[in-house]
Structure 1
Amino acid sequence: MATMTVAPRRRFARLTAAAGLLVTVVALLLAPAAPASAHAVLSSSSPAASSVVPTAPSEVVLTFTEQVRKVPDRIRVIAPDGSRADRGEPTFTDTVVNIPVDPSAGNGTYLVTYRVISADSHPVSGAFTYSVGAPSEPPVDTDDGRADPVVSNAIKVGKFVGYAGLLLLIGPALVLALLWPRRLSRTGPARVAWVGLGLVAVATIAVTLLQVPYTNGGGPFDITGAGLSLVLGSTFGAAHLVRLGLLAAAVFLLRPLLAGSVGRTDLVILGVLGGATLLTWPLAGHPAASPAPAVSVVVDAVHLGAMAVWLGGLVMLAVFLLPRADERELGAILPIWSRWAALAVSALLLAGIVQALIEVATPTALVNTTYGRLVLAKVGLFALVIAVAAYSRQLVRKRVAASRPAPVRRAIWVELAVTAVVLAVSAVLVQTPPARTAATDVATETDYFTTTTQSSLYSMQIELSPARRGNNTVHFYAYTLDNRPLPVAEWKATVALPSAGIEAIDVPLLPLTDNHATGEINLPAAGEWQLRVTARTTEIDQATVTATVPIR
């Protein structure tokens, strides 16, 4: 009677998985097409930033380096009296955004603030002023225009959890399907696989929800129906929904696999579902917006899959096989695993090189951008892991594990510890603008200085570019000590170069938002300039911070 019920159940599982894969293909075909671009940068505007025009324009035109998408009510033009001068919805045409403006708003200085979404799902924000007739006291927009750091960090954590869940799912599934000794219980590895699947699902849902405030610039709980609809209507949202659908379809075939009753056809279907699921990660990030999207997506999926096979297999070895398998079983398993690990590491290395060449673009960007430095850190950690892995493979070849598995077990735990750090670096990488985009800014600005200093009242982020002799632009961002935007009532800044006998020079500042001010200053000589910033937050509370700025 039992044999009669197993076959229908298996057919039902296969039909369900096939239906899930069909839905995935249709969803990917119908998903919004993403342009081959990345982290957009404002290249020009009309009127130009800081310009004075004789008559009020009827529209403000923003031109970006790449195509961008709209964030509702995040493109604003503030009139000199503080009222909204923009009229109606801005129009998006390729890389150009047209903002209708009321030409009767009067003379004075206008503030333009914008927040848009680039093709790689990251928000891009900024602000500038222009004046009609003559400059006046600039207005202030209460919108900070920057992503909440709590949201940004929560997304990184969510992506790390998703990566961890992926290796905890793929490792047990692969080992149980092809290497697991029949005499050993499958309960422990099966539980690990279900935990891994749950972590991937929870992380996918969490990152999708957090994308709403990340897009809109709100806090972690600023999730609205309209914002969620905007995210789900993008390629980013479609890829995450597809991932959830594929996970649900895989459940029906994963259950018999973990129980030890899966057939060869089921394994093939599970492999196809797994490959399709891996593609959802690059489709939702930088690779889909690279100069060669087809290559980048495939290479990134291979990179992710090889990582999951390698690290997931290491978890199975360290936690289950080495402590439980006998000498004869380990003698059969470890050489096979060693070949698997060598193939996975080779795929990781090759895919990583190709992806780095695409995303970094130039040797200069490798050292002058955050993305490039993270890649170098990942390469260094990866080299350390390779060295440890080579040692453990040598132990396997000498059959140390057969008589004394402790050295192999220690080497594997070291591999896992270092690769956990690699996963964390990867989670930060996918939230960092690609070096090919950041390099454009470096080439434009020549150089860049940034630092964060603290007083008893606030934390001050200071940015100055190009950090060379001549005209420089400085930005100040004030935050509370728990990293929330802090309104500043009055700003004051000076620069001095004592070594050259240059006394303090006042920096004229323009408040752009309540916690953000900018200014222009001419620095006539190279050296270690002393920058002092005083921020008054109330009638009686103020504090001064200092920073040393190297000017070349």
Structure 2
Amino acid sequence: MIGDRRRRAVFALAGALLGLALTLAGPAAPASAHAVLVSSDPGNGTVLPDAPQQVTLTFSESVQLMTGKIQVLAPDGSRADTGDPTASGAAVTIGLRSGGGRGTYLVSYRVISADTHPVGGSITYSVGAASIPPTANQAADRVDPLVAALIPIGKYLGYAGLVLVIGPVLVLSLLWPHRLSRTGPARLVWTGIGLVLGSSLLALWLQAPYAIGVGLFDVRPGDLQDVLGSTYGAVMLIRLGVVCAAAFLLRPLLTGTEGDSRADTAVLGVLGIAALATWPLTGHPTASPVPGVSVVLDALHLAAMAVWLGGLVMLFGFLLPRADERELRAILPIWSRWATVAVAGLVFAGVVQALIEIGSLRALVDSPYGRLILLKTALVVVVGGVAAYSRKLVSSRAAASGPGRLRRAVLAELAVTAVVVGVAAVLVQIPPPRSAEAAQTAAEDTAISRTVTGKTMSLQVEVLPGTTGNNSIHLYAYTPDNKPLPVVEWKITAALPAKKIEPIAVPVLRITDNHAVGDVALPTPGEWTFSITARTSDIDQSTLTLTGEIG
């Protein structure tokens, strides 16, 4: 009866830890894509004199394509793209049909970023003159709410499985007294294996609707086939195979019939390392500025967490209640050293990885990601204090003769650690500052692209890059009915009245009959005024002005 109560208490504790972590992760927003579109050619909103032969999209990290998820719509709503788009690293190239008509084109895209998140959106460009843009059939950035809610739950089931496998297996292998039954710990380990396998299968299923932006049950066999054929699918299949092989080798250990096979132990170690590596290989570390370092650090972080938290569960649930004083005097000092090494590895890997993702001390305070890192650090300090108290109890040998205080300290460690893991789950859902900065940079493109209209002409003006320093001014002249208008002579001046900068004459070079380029150095930020005079004959000319903010 007492044994049953203890077993129920252990599983209740494990369930409570998982539930607390899921509660913390639950309110988080759906996982944000960490790749962003940083530039395009043609640029978003630009007006071109002639139809381009292709469109190039450049992202902040490498991307993978999905069948049928990139299209270019002509002004009349027909498809303007031809053939299959190609991806080379972070650049995606879309071929266009020749002879495109005048007006505004819509480029709609949805790709998979290096960290497995879908990236969707659209841009427009115009040929000749702007018009009402066509409308895509479906939002390119859509994510089903149910799918978005299930993804962090599946991830957390996998983390819980790691905790219930790695820590208990190490304790059973190296610290478990022979006289004690292994039934309870074995059930814990089999539960962990089931959680890892179940979460992996769930992740494979969820990746299909997540990637293509459909509902949970709107997935077709071809969509699942695409997932299985992707890098993400290959890594997840490796995880499933590795965990199944490890489960087969663990049976003798869990039943207490294992021999002295060092080969099996070595194979289990290799399988454990391979399984741990599959987590960072399907997440954000692969998109890090130093992916090799980040993958290793993330695997170390997971391993240290699993050893520490899983060992605490074994200590609290089985060893402290069951082992006698002599056994505890032998076990606790060894476990104390394990915990110290695990915590050191956890802190080291977490700090270095945070520095990689954050990039600056300012982002540590200014970004949601950085503030969560600070919260996580504060919690780890609290756990470290409790762990130091536990180590003091072990060093004084008081825990072996009266383990009550140590059990309470271990329970406190478990409780605070569960909150730490919950914060980590929220961190997975938030773009790190390096991604947020890339998105902000892309959003803050200061290039000026305007159309000004007079009685006899329409003038498209582009100032690139739209910041202080050297700038190029592109001019395109059209008739009021959007036909190219030949210009005999161009004159441009740039002035900043607010700072008493008089008009600066801009040298102009004619490129075609209706296209000219001028180069000017704008020394000061502010609201600049550009005056353009276009002479179309010996007696006809028009002068148009526009203002633009130069950053």
Give the TM-score of the pair, scaled to structure 1: 0.70
| Map of 1:78 onto structure 2 | 73
Aligned to 1:111: 106
SS of the residue aligned with 1:220? coil
What are the Cα deviations for residues 230-279 of structure 1, in whole angstroms up to 9, with x where unaligned?
Answer: 32233322221111111111122100011223224122221221122111
Out of 61, 78, 87, the position equivalent to 1:66 is 61
Separation in 2 of the partners of 1:77 and 1:172?
55
Contact 1:212-1:222 at 8 Å conserved across structures: no
User: Contact (CA 8 Å) 2:162, 2:192: kept in 1 or not?
Assistant: yes
Residue in 2 aligned with 1:412?
410
- SS in structure 1 of the partner of residue 218 of structure 2: coil
Cα pair distance change 1:201/1:421, threshold 3 Å: same
State how far apart, in whole Å, the 2-side matches of 1:94 and 1:272 are: 31
Of 296, 299, 303, the residue aligned with 1:298 is 296
Cα deviation for residue 47 of structure 1 reads 2.3
Give deviations 1:82-108, integer Å, cap 9, x for gaps. 333333321223433222334556433
| Secondary structure of the structure 2 residue equivalent to 1:61 | strand
How far apart are 1:444 and its partner, in Å? Answer: 5.5
Distance of 1:64 and 1:350 partners within structure 2: 31
Tell me which of 321, 325, 328 is aligned to 1:327. 325
Alignment correspondent of 1:161: 157
1:231 corresponding residue in structure 2: 227
Cα deviation code 1:446-475 (max 9, x no counterpart): 79xxxxxxxxxxxxxxxxxxxxxxxxxxxx
* Aligned match for 1:254, one of 247, 250, 253: 250
Q: Percent identity?
A: 59
Q: How does 1:144-223 map to 2 (within 5 A)?
A: 144-146=139-141, 147-223=143-219
The one of 385, 389, 392 equivalent to 1:391 is: 389
| Residues 390 and 445 (structure 1), Cα distance of their counterparts in 2 relative to 1, 3 Å cut | farther
2: CA distance between counterparts of 1:83 and 1:239? 39
Q: Secondary structure at the match of 2:119?
A: strand
How does 1:451-462 map onto structure 2 within 5 Å? none
Q: Distance in 1 between matches of 2:183 and 2:171?
A: 13
- SS of match in other structure, 2:125: strand
| Cα separation, partners in 2 of 1:240 and 1:416, compared to 1, 3 Å | same
User: 2:314 corresponds to which residue?
Assistant: 316
Distance apart, 1:344 and its partner CA = 0.6
- Stretches of structure 1 that go unaligned for 5 or more consecutive residues are 1-37, 448-523, 526-552
Preserved contact between residue 61 and residue 287 of structure 2 (Cα < 8 Å): no
CA contact (8 A) 1:368 1:439 kept: no
Read off the aligned partner of 2:118 and give its amino acid letter: P
Give, in angstroms, the shift of residue 282 of structure 1: 1.5
1:190, distance to aligned residue in structure 2 (A): 0.4
Which residue number corresponds to residue 141 of structure 1?
Answer: 136
Q: 1:24-72 deviations in whole A, cap 9, x for unaligned?
A: xxxxxxxxxxxxxx94332222222112223333432222333321122
Alpha-carbon distance in 2 for matches of 1:203, 1:299: 22
CA distance in 1, matches of 2:90, 2:377: 35
How many Å separate the matches in 2 of 1:442 and 1:45? 15
SS state of the match for residue 72, structure 2? strand
Tell me if the contact between 2:390 and 2:410 (Cα under 8 Å) persists in the aligned partners: yes
The equivalent residue for 1:287 is: 285
Q: Is the 8 A contact 1:78 1:112 kept in 2?
A: yes
Distance 2:332 2:62 in 1: 51
CA distance in 1, matches of 2:297, 2:261: 27
Q: Bigger shift: 328-337 or 300-309? A: 328-337
CA separation in 2, counterparts of 1:368 and 1:118?
A: 25
1:477 aligned residue = none
User: 1:445 deviation in Å?
Assistant: 5.3
Residue of structure 2 equivalent to 1:270? 268
Which residue does 1:505 correspond to in 2?
none
SS at match of 1:377: helix
Query: 2: CA distance between counterparts of 1:111 and 1:213?
Result: 24
Residues 343-387 of structure 1 deviation map (CA, whole Å, 9 limit, x = unaligned): 111111111122222222222333344433332232222222212
CA distance in 2, matches of 1:369, 1:227: 36
How many corresponding residue pairs? 412
Distance 1:168 1:355, change over 3 A: same
1:54 correspondence with 2:52: no
- 1:391 deviates by 2.0
Structure 1 368/85 Cα, relative in aligned 2: closer, same or farther at 3 Å? farther
C-alpha RMSD of matched pairs (Å)? 2.4
